[in-house]
Chain A
């Protein structure tokens, strides 16, 4: 069974063709690296999968059913979550407040519903333990390292029981040690049977966690092969156009 299938997906913005004839299949629990230069169509592809806008052509199947996403919430409701590059966390709130933001656990007292702080902290601590991240549920996000912030953002997607997580440049602009932490988190997601599409510019990250690499150039998918059959040199050549396709 395939989790996500894109069939001949294309996208035009006015006269500009951002994406043409993309076919892509993601299996459950698979970690796929999505690479390409700026303007190659990576973000357009990701935004279509995340439901930011619909494709101009082609169709999308999720768990073998055709889906039409009008808004991000539609994609989220079937189990597709995005971890944004700028993380979309509220710095002034605690880790657990961020994890549960917009879906807080409440206790009813008469006609009023109050936040159940203890239950949210407990559940958040469990999620961090699963992710093997040393992050406290009641610490403010403002005081956290880049790796911990990633853990908070990923814990959010775990809470939503996501089946496919799109990660947009999760290792950009963080320290070497934190990169290792984030890659560990991706392994943890794979162990839990969650598929990950890793959008990255960093060759070592893709080659250390991904099973497959997909390369985009000028809106076209130019390569889609097991990581073992490729090499950073080949991928670089595909990205720059030195090699046409593989």
Chain B
């Protein structure tokens, strides 16, 4: 194998190497050359520094807190990353989290005391299904308007953000909805419990991240998602079902939001109408910090997880350092710009 661009004259080195085409060394291509890789490095450095500065950072209580906080955002970031890779955007995820959570809690209250109580798990499964069903409908609406009608993803999902948030306030009249019923303990266990001392939320996140990774890189559907973001016209010319792929990513994104919203009900013990307000921006920021490119074609689950974790670790660090919460918002903004700025400088240097 060639180790450097300068040794390209050695044509016999490998069957697959050519006399006049150089190949970048391994650390300059693939994962190692990606924004995700250096953001991961930055994350490790920040975590080491923080554990040195504050002994509280590595305490199990604090780590569990960080893990839970970032898992909710991380799960939705996985979904939004799929949309961003196709070259789209979904601003309605925060509202979707709230409405799914509220519908789940309301259905649980409504079936409490009915005949369903006598059938084990029926009430809980029905309420989980209702919560995710609402998310599915929101995703279908987004997908239909964007893929079929051809509206801009930004405007469509901005409208949906408002519609869904409004519905969340309308159906609750602003009051928080608490889950109840015979299975409520089980509900708390699967949404806010621990498995072997690890919060279930982070287990969901990691399992979903692995699934998203396999789907993106090892299935035709995943490849078509990338193709759409790379060159939509080309994708259509090769016969890819562009509309179907687009609808699918908006549906998956909405479902990830609905799922995370339901997890948050377990965490908070209630579904308030203002749940996850403003989360869409944190979620998109996490995707972008992790290396997803808003122009499409680039992004992945590792970036989504790392981006979400980086934001939460920094926020947590500032809390531990006793810095005013308002400054945290400023800093997250700086990190978003810094992450894309470093990537820009790096690619400028690498382009001959």
- Report whether B240 and A101 are in contact in the complex, using a CB–CB cutoff of 8 Å: yes
- Report whether A92 and B219 are in contact in the complex, using a CB–CB cutoff of 8 Å: no
Q: Does B148 lie at the interface of the complex (its beta carbon under 8 Å from any beta carbon of A)?
A: no
- Report whether B226 and A90 are in contact in the complex, using a CB–CB cutoff of 8 Å: yes
Which chain A residue lies CB-closest to B293? A92
- Report whether B220 and A115 are in contact in the complex, using a CB–CB cutoff of 8 Å: yes
Please tell me which one of the listed residues A84, A106, A136 contacts residue B23 in the complex, with CB atoms under 8 A apart.
A136
CB distance from B210 to the nearest CB of A (A): 14
Q: Does A22 lie at the interface of the complex (its beta carbon under 8 Å from any beta carbon of B)?
A: no
Question: Given A90-B231, A92-B229, are A134 and B223 neighbors across the interface (CB < 8 Å)?
Answer: no
Contacts of A101 in B (CB 8 A): 223-224, 227, 234-235, 238, 240
Q: Does B32 lie at the interface of the complex (its beta carbon under 8 Å from any beta carbon of A)?
A: no
Within 8 A of A (CB), among B1-36: 16, 18-21, 23
Please tell me which one of the listed residues A73, A89, A91, A104 contacts residue B223 in the complex, with CB atoms under 8 A apart.
A104
Which chain A residue lies CB-closest to B229? A92
- Report whether A90 and B21 are in contact in the complex, using a CB–CB cutoff of 8 Å: no
Question: Given A72-B237, A134-B20, A136-B16, are A115 and B229 neighbors across the interface (CB < 8 Å)?
Answer: no
Q: Does A32 lie at the interface of the complex (its beta carbon under 8 Å from any beta carbon of B)?
A: no
Which chain B residue lies CB-closest to A107? B218
- Range for the number of chain B residues in contact with chain A: 20 to 34
CB distance from B238 to the nearest CB of A (A): 4
Residue of A89, A93, A103, A112 with highest tally of chain B CB at under 10 A: A93
- Report whether B223 and A136 are in contact in the complex, using a CB–CB cutoff of 8 Å: no
Q: Does A176 lie at the interface of the complex (its beta carbon under 8 Å from any beta carbon of B)?
A: no
CB distance from A80 to the nearest CB of B (A): 14
Q: Does B105 lie at the interface of the complex (its beta carbon under 8 Å from any beta carbon of A)?
A: no
- Report whether B16 and A88 are in contact in the complex, using a CB–CB cutoff of 8 Å: no
CB distance from A169 to the nearest CB of B (A): 16
Which chain B residue lies CB-closest to A143? B24
- Report whether A91 and B239 are in contact in the complex, using a CB–CB cutoff of 8 Å: no
CB distance from B165 to the nearest CB of A (A): 34
A5 to B80, CA, bound (A): 51
What are the interface flags for A75-92 relative to B under an 8 Å C-beta threshold, 1 for contact and 0 otherwise? 010000000100111111
Within 8 A of A (CB), among B147-197: none
Q: Does B290 lie at the interface of the complex (its beta carbon under 8 Å from any beta carbon of A)?
A: no
Q: Can you add 11 more A-B contacts, CB < 8 Å, to A88-B238, A135-B21?
A: A73-B239, A84-B237, A88-B233, A90-B230, A90-B297, A97-B226, A102-B240, A113-B219, A114-B214, A115-B219, A136-B16
Nearest 8 CB-CB pairs, A to B?
A90-B230, A92-B297, A102-B238, A134-B18, A88-B234, A92-B230, A102-B239, A90-B231
7 of the cross-chain contacts (CB-CB < 8 Å) are A88-B234, A92-B297, A112-B219, A115-B223, A134-B18, A134-B20, A136-B21
